[in-house]
Amino acid sequence: MHIGLIGGIGVAATVAYYQKLAAAMAARGKPLDLTIVQAETSTLIANNTNDRREEQARVFAPLIDRLRAAGAECAAITSLGGHFCFAETKALSSLPLISAVEPLDDYFASQGLGTVGLLGTRVVMRTKLYGQLARTRAVALEDEVDLLGQSYLDMAVAGRCTQAQRALFLDAGRRLIEDRGADAVVLAGTDLNLAFDEQALGYPVIDALDVHVDVLAGLAAGERAL
């Protein structure tokens, strides 16, 4: 199946999706049929911050049309923050839209996780992954949501992680385990790999991007149906 990605939100996340999808298909011995279009991070941030769901959906819709014109058979938004308008975008989409949030509940349950700690955008942390977790409890560092959320956006826009930002996120992950009782920390922001990759953590971490990529690779390889 030809996969279409709405990328650019941010660039580091798009690169991670591309690399991991390519590796997953190479491991299967199959070619990757992929098209990526570019969305604007600044537009998404402004609409997300002000809860302008319909406006952002109308930004995504023509990008999905371009993916369809290029031959894509499904589309995905490479940003968990971008899923704040998933329902509105799905209603306008000319292609099946593959959620990065929907598979997480089953995945966490399959791993035997009773409680997960969230790091990501303000909205993702405040809404506990848009309220879509039914089988696993989600927690966040509620008093630090604004600080962590802004630091995440700064990192995503820059496409790089400073030492101070990395220290902030790694410590927040530790406290989600030790103070909030999480069984694992969920990187519920697709750019958080910039902070966490190749780090010695001492606590379990699940990258939501990896779960989404697994779904997309299954579709690309014909192992899953829409």
Structure tokens at 116: 């997960």
The confidence score (pLDDT) of residue 198 equals: 87
Q: Indicate the angle between helix axes 208-220 and 11-28, nearest 10 degrees.
A: 50
Q: What is the DSSP letter of 84?
A: G
115 phi/psi in degrees, rounded to 5: -140, 135
User: Which candidate, 66, 70, 35, 42, places its Cα nearest to that of 56?
Assistant: 42
Per-residue pLDDT of the chain (226 residues; tens, 9 = 90+): 999 999 999 899 999 999 999 999 999 999 999 999 999 999 999 999 999 999 999 999 999 999 999 999 999 999 999 999 999 999 999 999 999 999 999 999 999 999 999 999 999 999 999 999 999 999 999 999 999 999 999 999 999 999 999 999 999 999 999 999 999 999 999 999 999 998 889 999 999 999 999 999 999 999 999 9
Please name the residue ranges forming H helices in the chain: 11-28, 41-49, 53-69, 86-92, 102-110, 122-126, 145-158, 163-178, 193-196, 208-220
- Look-up: residue for tokens 């490479």? 78
pTM, rounded to two decimals: 0.94
Structure tokens at 119: 């790091």
The confidence score (pLDDT) of residue 64 equals: 98
How far is 165 from 172, CA to CA, in rounded Å?
11
How far is 144 from 122, CA to CA, in rounded Å?
9
Domains annotated for the chain, with CATH where assigned, are: 3-100+210-220 (3.40.50.1860), 102-208 (3.40.50.1860)
Answer yes or no: are the C-beta atoms of 6 and 78 closer than 8 Å: yes
